[in-house]
Amino acid sequence: MQQNPEIESLERCVSPTSNQPPTVEASSGVGFSDHWDHRRALELSESRGSNTYGNDLLGLMLKECDSSSNFTSRDLIEECKTFYIAGHETTATLLTWTLMLLGGYPEWQECARAEVYEVCGNEIPDGESVSRLKLIPKLNFLMVGMILYETLRLYPPVVEMTRECVEESWLQDLHVPRGVSVSFPIVGLHQDKELWGEDAGQFNPDRFKDGISSACKHPNAFMPFSFGLRLCVGQSFAMIEAKVILAMILQQFLFRLSPNYRHSPAMKFGLKPIHGVPLVLGKCDACSWHWKSRSYLHCSWIQLNETERASRLYHGLRMKMNQFHKTCEAMKQCPVE
């Protein structure tokens, strides 16, 4: 799975605190600045100079930029970078690791597929069906949710969290002066045997069967989305997005890890498989998989080479994502807890 080239160009200069040599595009924010100027010109022409930019995220920030001297155009560009990456790359990374784990644990893949077929059958969630649901209860897959949480535990998209100490503090016997940045490893916390048990390093979604609070010994030991006042604002949407996409993949494909897979997680603005996740795919539909008996009636496995994989997955997922975008539009009309 190849990284979005636009995001790749930003990795080297995502924030003012980055210590990597910046790319020209990243340091200047060219793409965001152009989009901002175009949006401002469009909104001003349509509203005849009333500066009503709309109520989406960019519109709200443009209003603030016009009305406040404390929020500059540079601040706006930095915020856009953050939301652009957080809204795309983290969910893509989560799904990549999920497919890797389900490809290596076929029994869990079968359980997840059984749940998807039981809830949705062969129907792919679309905008019309989602718009009729409050909080999208039918997409609240228990099994799929457990699998995604366990994936986030083992392979959190962000492996480290940093906070600035706003006042003098003590961490047991350690003095932390005001202004000092404190970092702690999320991966280490997620795989601490004292918190998660002796199987902390193993893939076991069943640990989340009674919810997050019962999965470990401390309520804040699981923090793929951070916690407290700085909790990720897109947490609910990210989980819905991941569930919908994973459900569509499980409906359409059987998959297992390719013999060419090399396990190589590495930090590259998030924890990613540096050599990708090659999969062996099989077509899955109502004729080839019977969810009640969880049995495969027939299946043609296909090992794709690089060219075939890029071509087939691009065209197949493009059609699926068109349907998913309609779902996202309907989600905007649904309340979110």
Q: How crowded is residue 99: how many other Cβ atoms within 10 Å of its Cβ?
A: 21
Give the separation between CA 192 and CA 308, rounded to whole angstroms. Answer: 41
Q: Is 232 annotated as a binding residue?
A: yes
pLDDT at 131: 42
Domain assignment of residue 336, yes or no: no
What confidence tier does 130 reach under pLDDT thresholds 50, 70, 90? Answer: very low
Is the same domain home to 177 and 64? no
Percent of the chain exceeding pLDDT 70 equals 64
Q: How far is CA 81 from CA 9, 24, 63, 195, in A?
A: 11, 14, 18, 35
Domain final residue pick, 71, 100, 133: 71
Give per-residue pLDDT as tens, 56-71. Answer: 777 888 888 888 778 8
Q: Would 337 be classed as within a structural domain?
A: no
Q: How far is Cα 73 from Cα 79, in angstroms, rounded to an integer?
A: 10
For all residues of the chain together, what is the average pLDDT? 74
Of 55, 71, 87, the last residue of a domain is: 71
SS3 string, the chain, reads CCCCHHHHHHHHHCCCCCCCCCCHHHHHCHHHHHHHHHHHHHHHHHHCCCCCCCCCHHHHHHHHHHHCCCCCHHHHHHHHHHHHHHHHHHHHHHHHHHHHHHHHCHHHHHHHHHHHHHHHCCCCCCHHHHHCCCCCHHHCCHHHHHHHHHHHHHCCCCCEEEEECCCCEEECCEEECCCCEEEEEHHHHHCCHHHHCCCCCCCCHHHHCCCCCCCCCCCCCCCCCCCHHHCCCCHHHHHHHHHHHHHHHHHHEEEEECCCCCCCEEECCCEEECCCCCEEEEECCCCCEECCCCEECCCCEEECCHHHHHHHHHHHHHHHHHHHHHHHHHHCCCCCC
Residues 51 and 169 in one domain: no
Average confidence (pLDDT) over 212-239: 86
Q: pLDDT grade, residue 313 (50/70/90)?
A: very low
Residue that terminates a domain, selected from 54, 71, 88: 71
The answer to whether 164 and 97 have CB atoms below 8 angstroms apart is: no
Give yes or no: residues 18 and 145 share one domain. Answer: no
Considering the domain architecture, whether residues 67 and 79 belong to the same structural domain is answered as no
Shared-domain flag, residues 115 and 258:
yes
pLDDT band at 330 (very low <50, low <70, confident <90, very high): low
Q: Which residue range is the domain that position 15 belongs to?
A: 1-71
Average pLDDT on 1-13 reads: 48
- Phi then psi for residue 269, to 5 deg, are 50, 65
- Confirm if 25 and 10 have CB atoms less than 8 A apart: yes
Window from 5-9, 284-288, 291-295 with minimum mean pLDDT: 291-295
Same domain, 226 and 318: yes
Q: Do residues 10 and 89 share a domain?
A: no
pLDDT band at 306 (very low <50, low <70, confident <90, very high): very low
335: pLDDT strictly greater than 50: no
Number of domains in the chain: 2
In this structure, the answer to whether residues 34 and 154 fall within a common structural domain is no
pLDDT, one tens digit per residue, over 149-198 is 999 999 998 888 888 899 999 988 999 999 999 988 899 999 999 999 99
Same domain (yes/no): 316, 202: yes
User: 134: pLDDT confidence band, cut at 50, 70 and 90?
Assistant: very low
Q: Is the pLDDT reported for residue 297 higher than 50?
A: no
Q: Do residues 43 and 114 both lie within one domain?
A: no
Q: What is the pTM of this model?
A: 0.70
